[in-house]
């Protein structure tokens, strides 16, 4: 059975070869390399992974991601970013995906009316050209929407049933001013227990082209690993999406210190202990292999 970590990040020190935008958590001299990731994967029986761009949206910022995909073509696929104010994103998308191993793009801002009662014309939504081009070119869309944008997704996904959609991190949509970095350098998203996602992103389970990530627990939980306060959310997501439409991920490198890569490879058995073996295999990699079309390893 193939084991795939379906969402994580790698980055290099800032250099002329690998430019990126530093942040307080990712200063210029920090690196979390593909080789470091591969060592963790090898140690824990993980075969392949999806590298998700971090460190900037411009083409040049994707240099290290492209390097990793070229160096390890049978181990990784990639998800790119699109500059937020690009009115014609098609060329950017095509350049990044042209034989590179990048198969899609991550969106956090959707860009439509704030009021859910506004009559929606999807062509007026800011990211409409990205969705349209993804439909035309079979690109995957990787969604981590802001809370204010969650109501727009139903309209776009309904209009583009051919686009493969992956909802990140349990479908949670971060609220304004609810994001921070914790003392261990991990993203922290303040969430309410009765989460609005139950009535927005989780309802998108009715679309067969939508998958959900089982990941990011550390950012939402109020408990230490194994985050048992989120067990009901996991069961609910399993009930709605079914085991064929969930994908496990670690969100490396943020989890390296706490709880550690190895711990996260065992999280499913902690939070969904009643999974059958075939369901476990699906969520731990078979679904990602099929839906994201990972190559067979050499």
Partner 1 sequence: MIRPTEAQTTQWEEKGYLVFEDAIQGDELKRLQNVFDYWAEKCKPAWLDRIEAGEAAASFYDIPDPFDKDEIFVDLIDHPSYYGSLMAFTDDDLILLGPQVRTVPPGPVCYTGWHPDVPQSNPLHIKVQVYVNDVEPESGEFAFVPGSHKPDAGPYSKAQRLAAMPGHKRFPAKAGTAIMFNSYGWHTAMDNHTDTPRKSLILIYEKRTSGRVDPKRFASIAHLCTTPERRKLFCLEE
Query: Smallest distance, Å, CB 152 to partner 1?
Result: 9
CA distance 84 to 130: 11
Closest contact distance (angstroms) between CB of 189 and partner 1 is: 8
For partner 1 (CB under 8 A), the number of binding residues is: 35
**List 59, 86, 148, 231, residue binding partner 1 (CB under 8 A):** 148
Give the shortest CB-270-to-partner 1 separation in angstroms: 23
Between 198 and 225, name the residue whose CB sits nearer to partner 1. 198
DSSP per-residue string spanning the chain: ---EEEEE--B----SSS-----SSS-TT--B-HHHHHHHHHHHT--EEEEE--S-SSGGGGHHHHHHHHH-TTTEEEEEE--TT-S-THHHHHHHHSSSSEEEEEES-----S-TTSPP-GGGSTTHHHHHHHHHHT-EEEE---GGGGGGHHHHHHH-TTS-EEE-GGG--PPTT-EEE-TTS-EEE---SS-GGGGTGGGGGGSTTEEEEE--HHHH-SSSTT-GGGHHHHHHHHHHH-GGGEEE---TTTTTTTT-HHHHHTHHHHH-TT--HHHHHIIIIIHHHHHHTPPPP-
Q: 12 or 110, CB closer to partner 1?
A: 110
Among 4, 26, 52, 204, binds partner 1 (CB under 8 A): 204
Binding partner 1 by CB under 8 A: which of 16, 24, 29, 117? 117
Give whichever of 71 and 235 is closer to partner 1, judged by the CB atom.
Answer: 235
Q: Interface residues for partner 1 in 87-116 (CB under 8 A)?
A: 114-116
Binding residues among 221-240 for partner 1 as defined by CB under 8 A: 239-240
Q: Residue 150, interface with partner 1 (CB under 8 A)?
A: yes
Q: Which is nearer to partner 1, 115 or 277 (CB)?
A: 115
Asked whether position 158 contacts partner 1 by CB under 8 A, the answer is: yes
Of 38, 86, 120, 135, which one interacts with partner 1 (CB under 8 A)? 120
Q: Figure out which of the listed residues 30, 56, 126, 198 binds partner 1, where binding follows CB under 8 A.
A: 198
Binding residues among 173-192 for partner 1 as defined by CB under 8 A: 173-178, 190-192
Tell me how far, at minimum, the Cβ of 181 lies from partner 1, in Å.
Answer: 17
CB–CB of 163/141 below 8 Å? yes
Among 239, 247, 222, which Cα is nearest to 274's?
Answer: 239
Q: How far is the CB of 117 from partner 1 (least distance, A)?
A: 5
| Closer residue to partner 1 in complex, CB, 166/172 | 172
Query: Reading across the β-sheet that carries 246-248, which strands appear in turn?
Result: 4-8, 48-52, 76-81, 102-107, 140-143, 165-167, 210-214, 246-248
For partner 1, the closer CB: 74 or 239: 239
219 binds partner 1 (CB under 8 A): no
272 scored as a contact of partner 1 (CB under 8 A): no
Interface residue list for partner 1 (CB under 8 A)? 114-117, 119-120, 147-148, 150-151, 154-155, 158, 173-178, 190-192, 196, 198-200, 203-207, 239-242
């Amino acid at each position: 059975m193939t084991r795939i970590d379906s969402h994580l990040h790698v980055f290099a020190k800032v250099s002329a070869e690998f430019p990126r935008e530093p942040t307080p958590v990712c200063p210029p001299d920090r690196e979390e390399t593909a080789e470091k990731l591969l060592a963790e994967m090898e140690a824990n029986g993980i075969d392949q992974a999806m590298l998700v761009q971090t460190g900037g949206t411009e083409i040049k910022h994707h240099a290290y991601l492209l390097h990793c995909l070229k160096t390890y073509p049978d181990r990784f696929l990639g998800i790119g970013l699109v500059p937020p104010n690009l009115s014609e994103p098609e060329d950017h998308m095509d350049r990044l995906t042209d034989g590179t191993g990048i198969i899609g793009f991550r969106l956090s801002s959707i860009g439509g009316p704030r009021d859910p009662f506004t009559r929606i014309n999807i062509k007026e939504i800011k990211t409409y050209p990205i969705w349209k081009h993804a439909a035309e070119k079979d690109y995957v869309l990787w969604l981590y929407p802001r809370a204010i944008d969650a109501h727009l997704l139903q309209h776009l996904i309904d209009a583009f049933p051919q686009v493969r959609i992956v909802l990140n991190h349990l479908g949670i949509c971060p609220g304004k001013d609810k994001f921070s970095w914790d003392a261990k350098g991990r993203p922290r998203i303040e969430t309410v227990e009765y989460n609005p996602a139950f009535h927005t992103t989780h309802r998108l389970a009715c679309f067969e082209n939508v998958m959900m990530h089982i990941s990011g627990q550390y950012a939402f939980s109020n408990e230490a690993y194994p985050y048992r306060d989120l067990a009901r959310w996991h069961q609910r997501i399993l009930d709605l999406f079914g085991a064929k439409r969930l994908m496990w991920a670690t969100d490396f490198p943020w989890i390296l210190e706490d709880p550690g890569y190895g711990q996260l490879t065992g999280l499913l058995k902690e939070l969904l202990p009643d999974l059958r073996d075939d369901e476990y295999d699906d969520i731990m990699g078979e679904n990602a292999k099929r839906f994201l079309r990972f190559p067979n390893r050499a």
